[in-house]
């Protein structure tokens, strides 16, 4: 019985041209040999199984060949080539630094370096896993590495470049080996399968290349394992079954159900996946990768980023045309949250099922934020409002309709959280402990509220025709509150309070108005208006909708003048300030 040789050794590259996926490194080394500009020390770094040691051996064999041709391929007939193939070359030494990492091992190496080559012109020392050398061994090696004999060349290989001393790095030419692409690995596996007489499906080889994660040696090991299982015919189903990989069909079916908003079908499909023994965390990661592939399939410019087989490209393109981009973006965000929360969850299955239900509700127009109660404790404190008088609708005109002033409303009590609003630009608060209140900052903020603010400009338009569609007040109020609730969930409490302090009103066909009462709210609305208006247009379904932000000037009797008056206004909003004034014996006169 013939001895079996694994594919990683049997098909190990023997020339620079047969190295897979490292064209930049091999081209540089070939040019250095051709121009006789070889350095005395090289450092090959990169992930496992990408060709570092292989390139080191090819380089050592090439520079020792006595009959090197123009194509820089070793002849295989001279004495150095024959001894190299037989495994007892006198000019090429390999040292495993993982097991020979002491100072004595490096001293023995230095003694060998002092002996000139008996055959050939160069002595090459390949030190693998060089990061395993001790600090003392590195230091003992420094002088020889910096000033070696003219006939000595050192090639260091490592997977962990950050563990190499900077003094070593500065004495070497560093070559970074990259991970091999999926397409390169697939083509190499197909050529090996053809040489071995194995019938392999392209999709099966593609899955092997994906599982290898950029390492060609890992891909060849997986290939040998699957050939042992399936014989001379390697199918996609055999690969999926043996590598514990979820079939793409599951992701296509679940995505179709999400597009339809079919919650029961999604949950049944996920249960089927769990019954097949797959981990829920693996499913979440795979569905996120599927959404990503659909997203890049929607634009021809990003199509090269799609790393799937040719037979799947058409299916991705078909499904990508039927799914909304907003669903993919929001779905990726929700799956990322589920992925980060999975390990800490006590009910991981329920967590994944909830994420799938939320994805289905995105397509049916039911935003998850709208399912939260509208009145939480924070909302009821920060936004008690009185009924607002109706605003007369502005008559339509060919030009942009004028901004109609909104009737001033009685000042409402505001929650204590108003103390945390940003202070004016000329006041810089000092660092305070949690729970402390700054009287000076509060009074300064009151001064800003007391000064009349200039009206904000009406929206200048987006270049699209003016909308004549009537706005449903009930729908407008619901969408407005949904947006405010989303901001609260993003910990933007100040903006949430600003949006909930007043209610938007319909001021005309395709036009709404929102009143504000101070400059702080004005700053928030200036920054938030583009995103808010885009949200309103999408949810209400009116691309030409316009939003006018109007400043209400407070009446004279409401405008405090003296510091004491300003303090009384603030104390009415937050009675805790009275107790604080007594305890600190503050004089505000």
What confidence tier does 89 reach under pLDDT thresholds 50, 70, 90? confident
Q: What is the pLDDT of residues 447-495, one digit of tens each?
A: 444 444 444 444 444 445 566 678 888 888 888 888 888 888 888 877 7
Q: What is the pLDDT of residues 30-50, one digit of tens each?
A: 888 888 888 888 999 988 888
**For the residues 83-88, what does the mean pLDDT come to?**
79
Is the confidence at residue 371, as pLDDT, over 70?
A: no
The set of long-range contacts for 240-243, using a CB threshold of 8 Å and a minimum separation of 24, is 240/207, 243/207, 243/208, 243/211
Q: Around 358, how many Cα atoms within 13 Å sit in the side-chain half-sphere?
A: 21
pLDDT at 364: 65
Q: Per DSSP, what are the bridge partners of residue 550?
A: 515
- Tell me the DSSP string of 494-550: HHHHHHHHS--EEEETTEEEEEE-SHHHHHHHHHHHHHHHHHHHHHHT-TT-EEEEE
**For the residues 256-268, what does the mean pLDDT come to?**
89
Domain coordinates in residue numbering, the chain? 7-176, 182-243, 248-366, 376-387+411-426+437-459+467-589
Higher-pLDDT residue of 453, 532: 532
What is the end-to-end Cα distance of the chain in Å, rounded? 105
Token pair recorded at residue 165: 């001393």
Token pair recorded at residue 535: 């949200």
Contact 146, 116 (CB under 8 A): no
* Strand order from edge to edge, sheet including 92-96: 92-96, 123-128, 152-158, 41-45, 173-176
Higher-pLDDT residue of 458, 138: 138
pLDDT at 344: 87
pLDDT at 306: 79
Q: Which segment, 276-280, 291-295, 392-396, is predicted with the most confidence on average?
A: 291-295
* Strand order from edge to edge, sheet including 511-516: 505-508, 511-516, 546-551
**For the residues 359-382, what does the mean pLDDT come to?**
52
pLDDT at 267: 92
User: Could you tell me which residues come within 8 angstroms of residue 380 by beta carbon, excluding any fewer than 6 positions away?
Assistant: none
Strand boundaries in 61-151, DSSP class E: 92-96, 123-128
Looking at 287-301, 339-353, 479-493, 566-580, which range is the least confident one? 566-580
Q: Measured between alpha carbons, how far is residue 17 from residues 23, 25, 69, 142 in Å?
A: 8, 11, 14, 33
Q: What is the pLDDT of residues 230-240, one digit of tens each?
A: 878 888 888 88
Q: Measured between alpha carbons, how far is residue 365 from residues 38, 109, 358 in Å?
A: 65, 72, 11
Buried b (16+ CB within 10 A) or exposed e, 534-560: ebbbebbebebbbbbbbbbebeeeeeb
pLDDT at 435: 46
How long a stretch of residues is the chain?
589
Q: What percent of the chain has pLDDT over 90?
A: 3
Q: What is the pLDDT of residues 175-212, one digit of tens each?
A: 998 888 888 888 888 888 888 888 888 888 888 888 88
Domain 182-243 has CATH 1.10.8.60: yes
pTM strictly above 0.75:
no
- Tell me the DSSP string of 342-354: TTT-S-HHHHHHH
Classify 332 as helix, strand or coil.
Answer: helix
Token pair recorded at residue 242: 């043996």
**For the residues 425-451, what does the mean pLDDT come to?**
46
Q: Is the dihedral of CA 475, 481, 487, 490 positive or negative?
A: negative
Is the confidence at residue 147, as pLDDT, over 60?
A: yes
Q: What is the pLDDT of residues 90-100, one digit of tens each?
A: 888 888 888 88
Q: Measured between alpha carbons, how far is residue 514 from residues 116, 135, 396, 456, 483 in Å?
A: 88, 69, 19, 11, 14
Q: Per DSSP, what are the bridge partners of residue 200?
A: 234
Query: How confident is the prediction for the chain on average, in pLDDT?
Result: 77
- Tell me the DSSP string of 174-207: EEEPPPPPHHHHHHHHHHHHHHHT-EE-HHHHHH
Q: What kind of fold does domain 7-176 have according to CATH?
A: Rossmann fold (3.40.50)
Token pair recorded at residue 357: 């239900």
Contact 360, 261 (CB under 8 A): yes
Q: Which of 507, 493, 490 has its CA nearest to residue 549?
A: 507
The set of long-range contacts for 194-202, using a CB threshold of 8 Å and a minimum separation of 24, is 195/11, 196/227, 197/232, 198/227, 198/232, 198/233, 198/234, 199/232, 199/233, 199/234, 200/233, 200/234, 201/234, 201/235, 201/236, 202/309, 202/310, 202/311
Q: What is the pLDDT of residues 541-562, one digit of tens each?
A: 888 888 888 876 555 445 555 7
Class of domain 248-366: mainly alpha
How many other CB atoms are there within 10 angstroms of residue 193's CB atom? 20
Token pair recorded at residue 195: 């040489």
pLDDT at 365: 57
Higher-pLDDT residue of 378, 511: 511
Task: Please tell me the distance from the alpha carbon of residue 282 to that of residue 129, in angstroms, as a whole number.
Answer: 32
Token pair recorded at residue 134: 């001790």
pLDDT at 35: 85
CA angle 73, 74, 75 (to 5 degrees): 115
**For the residues 573-588, what does the mean pLDDT come to?**
76
pLDDT at 561: 58
Unique residue bearing structure tokens 């409402």: 412
Q: What is the pLDDT of residues 327-340, one digit of tens each?
A: 889 999 999 999 99
CA angle 2, 6, 9 (to 5 degrees): 110
Q: What is the pLDDT of residues 384-411, one digit of tens each?
A: 444 444 444 444 444 444 444 444 444 4
**For the residues 404-432, what does the mean pLDDT come to?**
41
Task: Please tell me the distance from the alpha carbon of residue 236 to that of residue 242, in angstroms, as a whole number.
Answer: 10
pLDDT at 373: 42
Please tell me what DSSP assigns to residue 428. Answer: -
The set of long-range contacts for 113-116, using a CB threshold of 8 Å and a minimum separation of 24, is 113/144, 113/148, 113/149, 113/152, 114/149, 116/149, 116/151
């Amino acid at each position: 019985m013939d001895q079996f040789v694994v594919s990683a050794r049997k098909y190990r590259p023997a020339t620079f041209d047969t190295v897979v996926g490292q064209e930049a490194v091999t081209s540089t080394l070939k040019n250095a040999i051709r121009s006789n500009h070889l350095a005395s020390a090289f450092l090959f770094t990169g992930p496992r199984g990408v060709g570092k040691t292989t390139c080191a051996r090819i380089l050592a064999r090439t520079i020792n060949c006595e009959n090197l041709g123009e194509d820089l391929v070793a002849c295989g007939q001279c004495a150095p080539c024959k001894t190299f193939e037989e495994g007892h070359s006198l000019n090429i030494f390999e040292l495993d630094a993982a097991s020979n990492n002491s100072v004595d091992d490096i001293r023995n190496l230095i003694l060998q370096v002092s002996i000139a080559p008996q055959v050939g012109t160069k002595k090459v020392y390949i030190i693998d896993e060089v990061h395993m050398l001790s600090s003392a061994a590195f230091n003992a090696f420094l002088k020889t590495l910096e000033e070696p004999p003219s006939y000595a060349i050192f090639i260091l290989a490592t997977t962990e470049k950050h563990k190499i001393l900077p003094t070593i790095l500065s004495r070497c030419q560093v070559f970074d080996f990259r991970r091999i692409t999926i397409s390169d690995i697939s083509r190499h596996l197909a050529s090996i399968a053809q040489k071995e007489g194995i019938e392999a499906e392209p999709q099966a080889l593609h899955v092997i290349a994906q599982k290898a994660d950029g390492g060609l040696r890992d891909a060849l090991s997986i290939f040998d394992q699957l050939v042992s299982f399936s014989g001379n015919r390697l199918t996609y189903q055999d690969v999926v079954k043996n590598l514990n990989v979820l079939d793409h069909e599951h992701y296509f079916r679940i995505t179709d159900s999400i597009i339809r908003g079919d919650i029961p079908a999604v949950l049944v499909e996920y249960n089927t996946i769990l019954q097949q023994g797959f981990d829920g965390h693996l499913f979440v990661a795979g569905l996120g990768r599927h959404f990503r592939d659909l997203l890049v399939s929607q634009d021809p410019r990003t199509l090269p980023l799609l790393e799937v087989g040719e037979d799947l490209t058409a299916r991705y393109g078909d499904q990508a045309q039927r799914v909304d981009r907003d669903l993919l973006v929001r779905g990726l965000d929700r799956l990322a949250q589920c992925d980060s929360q999975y390990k800490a969850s006590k009910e991981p299955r329920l967590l994944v099922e909830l994420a799938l239900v939320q994805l289905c509700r995105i397509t049916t127009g039911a935003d998850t934020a709208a399912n939260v109660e509208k009145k939480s404790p924070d909302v009821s404190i920060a936004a008690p409002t009185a009924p607002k008088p109706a605003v007369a609708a502005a008559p339509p005109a060919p030009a942009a309709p004028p901004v109609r002033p909104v009737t001033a409303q009685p000042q409402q009590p505001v929650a204590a959280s108003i103390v945390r609003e940003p202070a004016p630009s000329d006041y810089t608060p000092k660092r305070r402990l949690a729970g402390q209140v700054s009287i000076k900052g509060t009074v300064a903020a009151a001064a800003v509220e007391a000064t009349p603010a200039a009206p904000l400009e009406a929206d200048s338009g987006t270049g699209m025709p003016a909308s004549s569609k009537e706005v449903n007040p009930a729908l407008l109020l619901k969408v407005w509150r949904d947006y405010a609730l989303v901001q609260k969930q993003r910990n933007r409490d100040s903006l949430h309070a600003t949006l909930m302090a007043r209610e938007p009103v319909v001021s005309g066909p395709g036009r709404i108005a929102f009143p504000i009462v101070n400059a702080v709210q004005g700053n928030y609305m200036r920054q938030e208006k583009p995103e808010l208006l885009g949200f309103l247009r999408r949810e209400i379904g009116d691309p030409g909708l316009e939003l006018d932000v109007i400043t209400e000037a407070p009446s004279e009797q409401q405008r405090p003048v003296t510091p004491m008056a300003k303090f009384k206004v603030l104390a009415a909003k937050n009675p805790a300030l009275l107790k604080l004034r007594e305890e600190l014996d503050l004089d505000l006169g």
